[in-house]
Structure 1
């Protein structure tokens, strides 16, 4: 294999560009044949160009559905390295089926290891990553992947009431208690930790601004520059404490807001 041809399936433009840059810096002559941002776009491309690449890097959750849907609607016989933010159960599923994964956020060393594993597997078995392998992976991984929460059941005046997730402007933790504030300025105590909430919330809509706050992009009104390169998030309803994004995380936050 003289020139390695790669397709990237990723709906976050910044992540796709970063992945392409790291791949090309790790492998001389590597060519990014195409970057696809949705299930629909990927299905159309792979059906038209089934043999135009040697390797696929694919995010699991895309804007219009799970990337596994692509394999149902298009015949893909090329090896796939999945890009995932899922937990250890999902990672074990990848390992058991012999298809590599990269855990977000990835770094150059992880990319290099994945490329080397791909070369080794292909050298041993040219059919590595066949559609059969992917079908086995789909069956196993779907046991663990669950949709993002659409609502939470919360305690309110000795009752349990459902609160739509999109109505929550921000989550806040203090003294080991997690609160949710809705867009109509009501506050509820949550039965989850902030880490558990991160796993249940759509990362396209909610962002962990710091240790205390998870914010809904639709509730953010503006951002002010703050001391030492930080950003001050203005949000409605306004919390009692400032919501600050550290200098180190400002680029990531800006990319999230621009997506």
Structure 2
């Protein structure tokens, strides 16, 4: 079996490759690709070079769903992702699986078994059509969180997501700062917020910040290829984009 891995974290991609080959030494990893552009180019030139694709969702240069918009994908896909939302359930219930990070060998092996059971090492026409329908369903507009119920003194207030400039975490407490510079405690982690917020509006800058597009005033160059994001209102600490995250941030800002 020839497998294509689409994953922008090199260590994660190599670990997955070793895991697949430990499960079945006959597996050949045809290529490891880091992003949307590289995947589109490879698939256009090597459309029959793999039987199955393991694919992350959020890549350095965009969402992997863009691949299906730019080129024809005939192979079944197992999504390997840190994001577990309703759309992924469609794949799980229809024979094409997803694996939630962090994963282990048992989960990868189970995903491969599901693929083999569905396809017999190759998709029939009906399965191909089913896969295409499922892929399209994942590209439908998901429902993102529109508001939060927050504690304020002796009350609970609705806080619209559109009015939040940035989220910040320290000592395992997440604060939301509004565009008019009011701060509230939010009962979610940044990881949970990253799944619930519209990725076209909010960007996970680093381990401490999620920032909204409207709050960004300017972006300055910083040491070692990083970027410094300046917001209104001003953040409590520097919002730095790592060198590895810069391409994704630029693609998000240019969207």
Q: Alignment length, in residue pairs?
A: 209
1:164 corresponds to: 165
Note closer, same or farther for the CA distance 1:178–1:55 as it changes in structure 2 (3 Å cut): closer
Q: Is the 8 A contact 1:55 1:79 kept in 2?
A: yes
**2:35 is the counterpart of 1:34:** no
Note closer, same or farther for the CA distance 1:139–1:54 as it changes in structure 2 (3 Å cut): closer
**2:44 is the counterpart of 1:47:** yes
Equivalent position to 1:93, from 87, 90, 93:
90
Q: In the aligned structure 2, how far is the partner of 1:99 from the partner of 1:108?
A: 18
Q: In the aligned structure 2, how far is the partner of 1:124 from the partner of 1:17?
A: 23
Equivalent position to 1:82, from 76, 79, 82:
79
Gaps of 5+ in 2: 212-218, 223-234, 246-255
Q: Is the 8 A contact 1:173 1:179 kept in 2?
A: no
Q: Is the 8 A contact 1:53 1:78 kept in 2?
A: yes
TM-score by length of 1: 0.63
**Cα RMSD (Å):** 4.2
Gaps of 5+ in 1: 208-213, 222-235, 239-255
**2:25 is the counterpart of 1:24:** no
TM-score by length of 2: 0.64
Offset of residue 112 of structure 1: 0.8
Q: In the aligned structure 1, how far is the partner of 2:205 from the partner of 2:99?
A: 23
Residue 206 of structure 1 aligns to a residue whose secondary structure is coil
Q: Which aligned pairs between 1:108-257 and structure 2 lie closer than 5 A?
A: 108-123=105-120, 126-127=123-124, 132-143=129-140, 145=142, 162-165=163-166, 170-172=168-170, 178-180=174-176, 188-194=183-189, 196-200=192-196, 205-207=205-207, 214-215=208-209, 237=236
